[in-house]
């Protein structure tokens, strides 16, 4: 696995940190690679700005901080405004479709959007939007093995929420698989995928 720098950002309560923990655990424990994670919060835990930095690699990670993300996941408009300029040319930007309006991206960036909150609400718990996002991330980036991420999801949430989070992961993964067949969009267009609850 080639070294990849990832930033996940949004606001407290969206499961930003847990998303990074799941992906890092998938890489390091279930896929035999290496991962480091750092995190920071805004003044309020819930509702304030929140971000996590994840570095994954096939060899030991020598520097744990993200300098120029290859992949960025943003779940709030504030996070987009603050962090999107850091994204590497040719990088991947994943956004929460209903909460982030993409604009002013001047780089050759692939943008994928997913209505993670709506999908989570359809499953009955808004709080699993991070598992939807993790599933979507797994499908569109192809960085991690899907089975490794599934194991990490099951291992990172309370046992009574494991089934629901795995369902959320699968919904996000399916949506991401569909997104790959649609044209990847840039700053001037949004991914034209419509979410239809079953």
Give the whole-angstrom CA distance, residue 69 versus residue 7.
6
Give the residue from 178, 150, 145 showing the smallest Cα distance to 165: 150
Give the pTM.
0.88
Q: What pLDDT, on the 0 to 100 scale, is given for residue 104? A: 83
Give the whole-angstrom CA distance, residue 165 versus residue 159.
10
Give the residue from 133, 110, 143 showing the smallest Cα distance to 10: 133
Strand 92-96 vs strand 110-114: parallel, antiparallel, or unpaired? parallel
CATH of domain 4-181: 3.40.920.10
Q: What pLDDT, on the 0 to 100 scale, is given for residue 180? A: 87
Report the mean per-residue pLDDT for the chain. Answer: 87
Q: What pLDDT, on the 0 to 100 scale, is given for residue 27? A: 96
Q: What pLDDT, on the 0 to 100 scale, is given for residue 164? A: 95
User: Would you report the helix, strand and coil content of the chain in percent, each value rounded to 5?
Assistant: 40, 20, 40
Positions in the chain short of pLDDT 50:
44-45, 184-196, 198
The answer to whether residues 111 and 93 touch, using CB atoms and an 8 Å cutoff, is: yes
Q: What pLDDT, on the 0 to 100 scale, is given for residue 48? A: 67
């Amino acid at each position: 696995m080639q070294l990849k720098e990832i930033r996940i950002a949004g606001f407290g309560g969206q499961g930003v940190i847990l998303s990074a923990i799941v992906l890092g655990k998938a890489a390091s424990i279930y896929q035999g690679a290496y991962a480091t994670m750092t995190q920071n919060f805004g003044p309020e835990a819930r509702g304030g700005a929140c971000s996590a930095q994840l570095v994954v690699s096939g060899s030991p990670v020598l520097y744990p901080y993200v300098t120029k993300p290859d992949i960025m996941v943003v779940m709030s408009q504030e996070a987009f405004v603050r962090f999107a300029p850091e994204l590497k040319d040719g990088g991947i930007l994943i956004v929460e479709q209903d909460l982030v309006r993409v604009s002013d991206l001047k780089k050759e960036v692939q943008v994928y959007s997913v209505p993670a909150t709506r999908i989570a609400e359809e499953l009955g718990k808004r709080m699993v939007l991070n598992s939807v996002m993790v599933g979507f991330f797994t499908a569109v980036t192809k960085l991690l093995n899907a089975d490794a991420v599934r194991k990490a999801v099951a291992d990172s949430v309370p046992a009574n929420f494991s089934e629901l989070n795995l369902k959320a992961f699968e919904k996000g993964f399916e949506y991401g698989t569909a997104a790959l067949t649609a044209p990847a969009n840039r700053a001037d267009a949004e991914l034209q995928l419509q979410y239809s609850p079953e």
